[in-house]
Each structure stands twice: as C-alpha cells, then as structure tokens.
Amino acid sequence: MKKDIINGEKGSEEKTVSEAINYRRSVRIYDPEKIMDPKIVKKCLEQAALAPNSSNMQLWEFCHITSKDILKKMEPLCLNQNTAKTAQELVVFVTRKDLWRNRAKANLEMVNKIYPTNPNSKKNKREKIIRSYYGKLIPLVYNDFLGLLGMFKYLIIIVVGLFRPMYREVRAQDIRVVTHKTCALAAENFMLSMAAEGYDTCPMEGTDTWRIKKLLKLPRGAEINMIVSCGIRKPEGVYGERFRIPFEDIYRKF
C-alpha cells in the first residue's frame, strides 16, 4: 500500500475503504499536540473533486482555511462548538450554481479535445449527444428569470409527464437542491480520504453561514453547503459509541 505521513509519523499505511468508513467518526475535540500536514489535507481535497456529480458540472468550491487568524474568527461563527475551537484547519464546501455557464463551457472544451473539429468528417452519435447536452439542454435546465422561466418549464413538464416519464427538477429551487447534493458527495469523499490518512473530521450544521460567507468574501451566487473541521482526535473527542438504526429498518429490497 501507499505510504504517507500520518499523525506526524512516517511509514503508516493508508486504510482501505472499509477501514476508513469504520474509522471515521464526527470528532468534537482535537489533540493540539498532534499536527496535521496541510499538504495531505489538500491531497484529500483533490480526491474530493473526483466525487460523482450531476452532469459533471462540478458546481463547487473548497475553501481550505489554515490561517490562525481566520480560524479564530470562525469560532464564534461556528457557534463556539468544540470541534471548531480545537480544529487545526477548516474546509468550507461551497456550491456555485452561478457558475453553470463556465462549467458547461469547460465540458464543451473537453469535448473538443476528445473530438477534434474536422469539417470533412461527420460527427458520430456520441459527440452529437454530448454537444447537444452541454450546448442546449444544460442552458435550458439552468436558465431562469426570477423563477418565472422555471415555473413555465415545470408546468410544461407536468402536462407532458402525464404521458411519459420526464425529468422534473427544472425550477430554481430544484437545481439548488441538485448542486447541494453533489457538493455533499464531494464532502463525503473528503472525509473518507482524511480517515484513510488517519486524520479526523466533523461536518458542522450549527454555523452562521451568512457571516461566514461575508468573512470569506464569497460572491453573491455562492452558498455554503457544509463546514468540516479537521484535526487528530483526542479519545474524549468521540462522544460515545456509534449508534445506527437497525439496518433491517432502513433496508428495502425489491
């Protein structure tokens, strides 16, 4: 297995996926004596960017906070939770639905690399579908004006949907949910990658996202998906045994 610096010591092995899942806990108190390597945290964020996401639009940004000054300012904005007060670093996962045009363009540029333009050749079926998807369908889904266009599309879908299956998440609030879902997938990738390295995390809900957005000078169209604290756990930092509802109560096989 690949070797890395874990908990400040060389030679520790990375965990398997199953080991990382079982190791990961929401840690509330971190050990100030055990120092993380920011480069490893950045590597875990690079792995976060490999998460599956809707239409490969990648409508996310990751704000990696290592500045002691900003970390201190973040404490009251995270409602003085122990996991924020003792964290060595923080990562703010941000949705950027407002960048859909840029991301669609980036995907089309990727298509141009895969299928170099040749006016003398006929485009194959896959190329036509991809170009139409990012050039026509994505603008149709993401474009909106004060919610009116989205509602108009939604009404059309209700009528057409009476006769055949339809994609129905076309309103602004629907697309917002989609971007937050995919950003959460990236956050999960990050936390499992951190666990594989022997590092700990805790996703926080209790935060003042408006003030944090102002502190980090995020643009108007950005929204905070979640904030994840990072560090190396103290034994008392894990509050008790893990509890889950019996699997039989949540599993349904068809």
DSSP 77-144: HTTT-HHHHS-SEEEEEEE-GGGHHHHHHHHHHHHHHHS---TTSPPPHHHHHHHHIIIIIHHHHH--
**Average pLDDT over the chain, rounded to whole?**
90
Please tell me the distance from the alpha carbon of residue 4 to that of residue 197, in angstroms, as a whole number. Answer: 8
Torsion sign across C-alpha atoms 199, 205, 206, 210: positive
Please tell me the distance from the alpha carbon of residue 103 to that of residue 57, in angstroms, as a whole number. Answer: 5
Residue 72 pLDDT? 98
Please tell me the distance from the alpha carbon of residue 166 to that of residue 157, in angstroms, as a whole number. Answer: 7
Plot region of 184 (φ>0 → left; ψ -120 to 50 → alpha; else → beta): alpha
Please tell me the distance from the alpha carbon of residue 190 to that of residue 74, in angstroms, as a whole number. Answer: 20
Q: What is the pLDDT of residues 21-52, one digit of tens each?
A: 999 999 999 999 999 999 999 999 999 999 99
Would you say the pTM of this structure is higher than 0.95? Answer: no
Q: What is the pLDDT of residues 202-229, one digit of tens each?
A: 999 999 999 999 999 999 999 999 999 9
Rounded to the nearest 10°, the torsion over CA 106, 111, 113, 115 is -160
Residue 30 pLDDT? 98
Please tell me the distance from the alpha carbon of residue 201 to that of residue 238, in angstroms, as a whole number. Answer: 11
Q: What is the pLDDT of residues 73-101, one digit of tens each?
A: 999 999 999 999 999 999 999 999 999 99
Percent with pLDDT over 90 in the chain? 74
Instruction: Name every residue whose Cβ is closer than 8 Å to that of residue 151 and which is 6 or more positions away in sequence.
Output: 171
Q: Which is more confidently placed, 128 or 204?
A: 204
Please tell me the distance from the alpha carbon of residue 128 to that of residue 54, in angstroms, as a whole number. Answer: 20
Asked if the model's pLDDT at residue 12 lies above 60, the reply is: no
